[in-house]
Structure 1
Amino acid sequence: MDFTPSEEQSAAQGLAARIFGDLSTHERLTAAGTGTDAELWKELCAAGLPAAVEDIGLLGLVLLLEEQGRTTAQVPFAVTCVYGLLAVAEHGTAEQRERLLPGLRDGTAVATGAFPARGRVHLAEDGALYGSVPWVPWLRDATHVLVADTDLALWIVEASAPGAEGRAPGVTVDPVETTAPWSAGRLVLDGVRGERLGNGPEAYAAVLATARTAFAGLQAGVCAGSLARAVHHTVTREQFGRPLSTNQGVLLRAADAHMDTEAIRVTAYEAAWRHDERRACGAQALTAAWWASEAGKRVVHAGQHLHGGTGADLDHPVHRHFLWGRQLDAYLGSGSEVLEELGLLLADSARGDAS
């Protein structure tokens, strides 16, 4: 395995770091409140970063999402790339790719996904979709939603036409405020005609593995940003005439957080690399998700604790990393849930090898 970024991946990561660093500032995030930063989204799309994901692959996307996580930038970048661009590019027909990808590339269309499936959407005998999903990330921004029915067939649902006011007939979106400001919403489908994508459970499993890998990469960035803020604080803040960073307890806590962050990053890289090499990556995606969930919350808690009393300030930038880290933990599934699924997958694989 070689996780060294290609020239194209490095260039895209550098551009993403500059745009996120310049525009996703504390002041702009404060002004955005719980909504999406529309100007930042336009800038990212104008720079061609969503469109570049088709060329730089999932590993490239993980690198870009690390940069988003470092700044907790409030844009629907991950969901549009995972549930829109990559899902359609890898599982769509030629006609679907020609029709849907241009809008997803230039940002006029925004996609999200009701993942993982919990059996909440069903396909009726008349071919229409019914059901509700309690919360879907960035749903309030979405023009298209990828849902899975009870048979794990994938359906693209048009939530609204790009640039149009209001929702498509049969689609209801109720705003939901989550731990992190992800412009989430409750999705209700009442007799909606969806557009089939891919070949059922196999496509669903592939998109789910891609999503887990991508959001693990986002968590790696969130943790790296939290830790960087904690390091800066402990190096510059003095107590009893010396920096906080010279205390052994502080050093050990920061070191543990660094190792956890690196574990999230390297497992996400491995899953993404295997995806791009067209190798089985379901177990690796679950491993990355487990690290992102279990270790991620440890890191963002450490980031706050290392700030001392300052970390309790809800307006401090480090608090955003805490909120994002906890939200990603919830979105990926608790560590025990992910570990159970990974164990079942490995057991099934071992039984298959034995037979």
Structure 2
Amino acid sequence: MTMPLTEEQLMIRSMVREFARKVVAAGAAERDRTKVFPADILNQMGELGLMGMMVPPEYGGSGSDAVSYVSALSEIAYACASTAVVMSVQNSIVCESLLHFGTEEQKKRFLTPLAEGEMIGAFAMTEPEAGSDPVSQQTTAVREGDAYIIDGTKRFITSGNHAGVVLVTAKTEPAARHKGISTFVVPKDTPGFKVGHQEDKMGLRASDTTDLIFEQCRVPADHLLGAEGQGFEIAMRGLDSGRIGIAAQSVGVAQAALDAAVHYIKNRSQFGQSVSKFQGVRWMVADMAVDIEAARQLTLAAATLKDRGETYTLQAATAKLFASEMVNRITGKAIQLHGGYGFTKDYPVERFYRDARVFTIYEGTSEIQRVVISNHILKDKRKG
């Protein structure tokens, strides 16, 4: 059974599709080559209400549902995966965390400009020695009077160089393991906070990924997000939403790769006929289309549960695992269908292939998704 979209959801998807294919896609290849952050496009997306889609209007957002959000995100990813990942982190993790756990003052000061697209946000949990295991992070936050002093280094932070505010996890009670992790709202101009090394990446090259360094970074106590010790819960809730976002990105890139491949094989002749006439090629196209549709429905199903206010951790992990693995298969096949030309930068499938590779890694590797899924099936409770 497919997940039908409402008239409003279809209208949002249509609007974003037109914008993405006319505006976002136009400079995607050049941004990939030059590693230029899509600031102007993100500003336009803010004006369209795409940077805080699930945030209520009273805080500057569009008040859209999760199904509309993943549909819109897929369309942006179809045009430019680098732009889509910025949109995804902004909506799924940063805005959502502030909406659900922020004080009224935090929402007015930080959530509203984020949702309106006036400011970019980042989420900083990963560290040099703590990726899949967040409990091993070494960043600390020590209370001193009316402030916390944060020390540590975060790694692989999306939008780290352009973010005006960062949600930072740190240990406030190291002996308490995951229950001793807290989250802080840290503006970029906070003394002791600086941007470190920027990665030269394989894909998503127009989206900056950096180290963030905190050295005696003094953050006011009222910048604590939620309660002390609630940081792990905040992160896991944000990652559930983020994983739906990655699934949506995967669907968008995969659809772009399939469409590019279909266009190529229809216009390429070998052995006196169109390449699209060969049975082996047609079967490959059919398998690609089935894979994409399965990923799309898993993504919509997870988003629907989110809209209903139901627990969707399992469905988010399932969608993320299948869709991220799927897009790597699809982009690889798209290159194969292009033959030698697919291995060159003259055709977009080469970029799609590079962009897709990280989807099985960030916001929880495929292996971590399998742990989440199997724990739900086997009813194992996390220890610690």
- The answer to whether TM tops 0.5 is yes
Normalising by structure 1, we get a TM-score of 0.89
SS in 1 for 2:51: helix
Amino acid at match of 1:70: Y
Name the counterpart of 1:190. Answer: 215
Structure 1 moving runs of 4+ over 4 Å: none
Is the 2:31–2:37 contact (alpha carbons within 8 Å) kept by the matching residues of 1? no
2:165 alignment partner, one of 137, 144, 150: 144
Name the counterpart of 1:63. Answer: 71
Name the counterpart of 1:37. Answer: 38
Is the 1:213–1:271 contact (alpha carbons within 8 Å) kept by the matching residues of 2? yes
Name the counterpart of 1:22. Answer: 22
State how 1:88-103 maps to structure 2 within 5 Å. Answer: 88-103=98-113
User: 1:14 deviation in Å?
Assistant: 1.7
Count of matched residue positions in the alignment of Structure 1 and Structure 2? 345
Flag the 1:293–1:249 CA change in 2: closer, same or farther, 3 A.
same
Amino acid at match of 2:68: G
1:131 alignment partner, one of 135, 143, 152: 152
Distance 1:16 1:220 in 2: 15
Flag the 1:16–1:212 CA change in 2: closer, same or farther, 3 A.
same
Q: Deviations over 1:36-94 (max 9, x none)?
A: 12221121112222244321122221111100111125432111112322221222222
Identity across matched positions, percent: 23
Name the counterpart of 1:8. Answer: 8
Name the counterpart of 1:154. Answer: 183
Amino acid at match of 1:13: R
Is the 1:293–1:332 contact (alpha carbons within 8 Å) kept by the matching residues of 2? no
Distance 2:191 2:334 in 1: 42
Is the 1:114–1:147 contact (alpha carbons within 8 Å) kept by the matching residues of 2? yes
Name the counterpart of 1:110. Answer: 120
Distance 1:125 1:97 in 2: 24
Distance 2:262 2:199 in 1: 34
Amino acid at match of 1:224: Q
| Structure 1 unaligned spans of 5+ | 161-166
Is the 1:234–1:243 contact (alpha carbons within 8 Å) kept by the matching residues of 2? yes
Distance 1:27 1:205 in 2: 34
Distance 2:183 2:226 in 1: 7
Distance 2:214 2:323 in 1: 31
Normalising by structure 2, we get a TM-score of 0.82
User: 1:286 deviation in Å?
Assistant: 0.8
Name the counterpart of 2:177. Answer: none
User: 1:284 deviation in Å?
Assistant: 0.8
Distance 2:168 2:379 in 1: 26
State how 1:305-316 maps to structure 2 within 5 Å. Answer: 305-316=336-347
1:289 matched to 2:297? The reply is no
